[in-house]
Amino acid sequence: MLSLVYVSAAAQPFSEAELQALLETSRRNNQRDNITGMLLYRDGDFLQVLEGPEDAVRATYARIGRDRRHGRFIMLDESHIDTRAFNQWAMGFRRVTAAESPEGFVDFFNRRHALSDLVDPRAEAFHFLQGFRRIA
């Protein structure tokens, strides 16, 4: 299986209804394609992990990459995996506020322009994502 982690910036801020529509489509497609993962949204920025069969993950990421609702993609990690980290979720979701970010966590959204400083982007992204999974 393949796991991808990326950040992107919304072309325009998403309304609650737009986020819900996006999630509905994503969950429907991901369930069909055996893809799991998690999506965080904060102030116009997305952080997403996609995991599943390699062909399906690459096809989904290609579709997401053509979506004009967001851009400025930065791929944080691409890894082959044996075990899913988000196996319960066709696409877990949290809308995050700055105040909610757990203390001591790397603030991924603020660090998007200095991501090359990260020693292990995958570990740090998962640490960040799983913090929100625990409080979801």
**Residues making contact with ligand FAD (CB under 6 A):** 8, 21-22, 25-26, 29-30, 39, 46, 48, 50, 60, 63-64, 67-70, 91
When the beta carbons of 73 and 105 are compared against ligand FAD, the nearer one is 73
When the beta carbons of 66 and 134 are compared against ligand FAD, the nearer one is 66
**What's the 3-state SS for the chain?**
CEEEEEEEEECCCCCHHHHHHHHHHHHHHHHHHCCEEEEEEECCEEEEEEEECHHHHHHHHHHHHCCCCEEEEEEEEEEECCCCCCCCCCCEEEECCHHHCCCCCCCCCCCHHHHHHCCCHHHHHHHHHHHHHHHC
When the beta carbons of 24 and 107 are compared against ligand FAD, the nearer one is 24
Tokens 């394609």, residue?
33
When the beta carbons of 35 and 126 are compared against ligand FAD, the nearer one is 35
CB of residue 10 vs ligand FAD: minimum separation in angstroms?
Answer: 7
